[in-house]
Chains A and B, each alone.
Chain A
């Protein structure tokens, strides 16, 4: 009697297993990468209500971050400046500019400017700016080189794994107090010694426990 299944069908299970495995790897890999904050969050660059350029203000004009983000060293939140801060200068500088119309409107009507949050941590994470700055972590470590950005975008994944990388080994991110806001600071050759000295001096002990950030 002739065989019902030709001989090549014997290999079908092998192909099937191999195919399913390949599919599984592809699907996992797809979500692994495209579902991760590295893909979904990094590069987020929404259009803001005011075409404010950090590149112009912080980069070309060299205004310190803390001129506007005044509370960053004392408060968990790095405040977005009130319209008043903009108007300090723009009452005199470019008072007619088209681009500044929303700012002038906000000032005249006493309505706040609704900025879109870029570096947006989940609500169950309690990040404290002041604690990080006091430990010697500069702006650049999390926000990237803002002074080069005409429109601010997110450059780091801000995922928990990424946070923990630094909490486990903060050496490369510690800098002297006076360099905290310097976007062009280059780590000196003796960074490791410096970091170790800082860690000892300030008893820097970044929490690795859940309670460090989740409350």
Chain B
């Protein structure tokens, strides 16, 4: 298992689909083979996919160009119905040529609309760490203990018989916020918490002992993102999210790559961890707040 083995995932994905231009070439070639001399086409296009209208127009004009023929006199053009569609594996370009009275030919090709310039070949997997009904801010796992920071308190859980049981908790006096944010920082036995306008410092061991003071809230970044200094051989790898509102599902992706992971609820916070990312999601409708550890398998 080593040098002689080759990464498989990328090969598998790459073999399935090319670009939209490749798909147009493939579909146009198939349809052109069905055209007799003197037959021309008139294209009607529709978009059944989640791609923007520009992609449909691009497909239509490229196909029109590829199928351009000099029509024979008094011969009406044949109808070609061009559709952009999609399935769970990706996008489809489908061309349907109709020749009266009843002939019909279908050509289709899969394509990938995501950028083809992925520099990181990795698989993202997520593991649910914790879930509760109070909005979560940060979660840290330290050996057999888990620190859960939410908008009201810090709770330390201990692993007993494979279950997380609450050991101790401490209320945090923080002003309410519609977009609460908070971070746990642990260095040896020293503990620092930041929640909105409150900063708490103290110790985790031998007992949880913290003192909180009001502190000016630092400027928060506009985007929810996290940076890992080194990942799969690349430097400063950015993770970013896409949800636009609290009702949307979300996608976590590695910037400039096609690696992505779907989440059922919007991600409200991302924290970099060693070779991984902690993602906090909030399902506000059902009051379910979750912490996931997203690990990255570089597959090399």
A binds B: no
